[in-house]
Chains A and B, each alone.
Chain A
């Protein structure tokens, strides 16, 4: 997945910690083999190669992952979409260093990709593409799914407290360190990792951050991030960073990307409908990033000082 996974855990002995950590990382490798679009032998790559030519039967886990991903597509009206493999390649976000595609390249992709061109049949557990240009890219949800699977391994091995991090952008906290209210997590300001925007305590929940700094390239003064607008088929430039807290890492990962793409009113409407999540959105203003918080559980400190927030539901 091109991401560094780290795990902090409490265990009865060093050997027990070693065995548990190894089992958890083996699960990450398994998910890598399942979902990586960089590996031709992954199940996701097989589906990308074959599902336009014929209906592809897949296993329940992969099918469930696809249902979850396309569920987010439906919920967000297409703001979240894993059919963007070719679009990401056109922008040079597939093992390359980034490039601006031509208008012709972009227009050729229209009508050839999009979540609406995918048919999932739960009775037969099959996947079928209705457009020829679809390549599945698990970015935006795969990391979260891998974290959730690690959590499952830790639960099976009765780990009492742990913090999992996937590239520092998707975290899951299992319980809390002894005597602590939760695992302490700093949310940095967008593009300024030394400045702490907010500090939250996580306990049996997940936090993900989507940022324009995560994967990007620049041409002159202009910075191009890797989170794409399904309307323009170009990087979103109106948002600098989104941090979302949700019960599972799959959901916090997907939600952070969804909120990054949606416009302000649509973002607000979605968050109002999802009562179990909280979010901190930093929009890209004129030279500064402006905070929009929904049910955010901690103070936010911007360059101008502490902001007093009304937390919805209080």
Chain B
């Protein structure tokens, strides 16, 4: 494969990464090509990391699996993180309490941001304006204004921005969405998304004064709660499947079990409306892990189950059918016997087998996403999870978190492109 065809192959996914149907599923050959090209272009690629908490350190771990990547510096307001980074990287990494000081370094080729979401937009904008490409964790922004500002800055800076919706890079998600778009389950009309946990969602706090810093997920001023933290991934997948962002959100949340001072719900239900009456129904519990993390995509001709490890296709569940001609039945050898009326059991859930979706790319999607980001920066191509992908889920969460708190239907502001 020559360089031109390689880029064209990659461009199927990386250059046409709008939310339009048919986009965004890289083929196994492209993934392999990206791997090979990453190796062949493996010059130094120095990253600065803002927010090396648990997710930030996982991104560092994955980034260091990409040939050539080095950690040049880290920034965090919580200093104990620096020792954890040093242990992870295996050397002393220059560290900063103020990320703006880190951005003044000249040896940073790209910035990785994994701070809490209410910091994202400011840090993404400052990083882009410092002339660096950005891999930014979801959600892209915390408010509608944030989201538009990031879109504008990405456009004006001309820098690569990739959002941390790594499920777009999972082989089995790519293959499943490709098949859905090809009509394998007919017209997809509903996505039911579950994210159940048995967990108080609370982090250990070494000192009570650090409660809001460590448990920022539990408080409205710093968190969109379960919808934003967990649901944003599933909203992104529904956006991909439906080929657009949602238009409306309505929902509810409450505290059932954890009356510990938190101000976001310990459970949430949200219904997101798309065109043609299509719906995403998201529900998250924290007192029962039965459903785990999974999406069901229901279409007019079948269903698809997507989990963080695999995907399974289920064919249509037919009602009772009548043979067109009685003679045909006789000719096929049916003479007599009791009739099993399947329709009588139509109310029972289907409990039969499904068909596992094979995907040749089986690696951790976060690794694929990190490799893809490095590849896009090195080759100046646009990522699959670009700013528009980030906008689609972030804006839904921005108004969705208000909708579930107030129990009202909210309109989701539309995408607005900015002229460069």
A-side residues, CB < 8 A to B, are: 16, 18-20, 22-23, 33, 39-43, 45-46, 49, 54-55, 57-61, 64, 125, 157-158
Contact = CB atoms under 8 A, between A and B. Distances in A.
A129 to B, nearest CB: 16
Contacts of B200: 18
Given A55-B39, A59-B64, A60-B90, 17 more contacts: A18-B200, A19-B204, A22-B199, A33-B364, A40-B362, A40-B363, A41-B363, A46-B363, A54-B39, A57-B64, A57-B67, A59-B62, A60-B89, A64-B90, A125-B64, A157-B204, A157-B206
Contact of A57 (B61, B66, B89, B363): B66
Nearest to B84: A156
Contacts of B203: 19
A157 B89 CA distance: 21
Closest 7 CB pairs of A and B: A40-B362, A60-B90, A19-B204, A59-B64, A41-B364, A57-B67, A59-B61
A61 B61 contact: yes
Given A60-B88, A157-B204, A41 B64 contact: no
7 contacts: A19-B203, A39-B309, A45-B362, A49-B362, A55-B39, A57-B67, A60-B64
B212 interface: no
A43 B67 contact: no
Interface of B: 36, 39, 42, 61-62, 64-67, 88-90, 199-200, 202-204, 206, 309, 362-365, 367
Which of A18, A23, A57 counts the most chain B CB atoms within 10 A?
A: A57
A20 B204 contact: yes
Contacts of B39: 54-55
B65 to A, nearest CB: 5
A228 to B, nearest CB: 27
Contacts of B62: 59
Contact of A41 (B36, B90, B362): B362
Which of A46, A58, A59 counts the most chain B CB atoms within 10 A?
A: A59
Contacts of A22: 199
A59 B365 CA distance: 16
A56 B64 CA distance: 11
B31 to A, nearest CB: 12
B210 to A, nearest CB: 13
B393 to A, nearest CB: 23
Contact of A19 (B202, B309, B365): B202
A181 B74 CA distance: 43
A59 B62 CA distance: 7
Contacts of A19: 202-204
Contacts of B309: 39, 41
Contact of A43 (B206, B362, B364): B364
Contacts of A16: 204
B327 to A, nearest CB: 50
A59 B202 contact: no
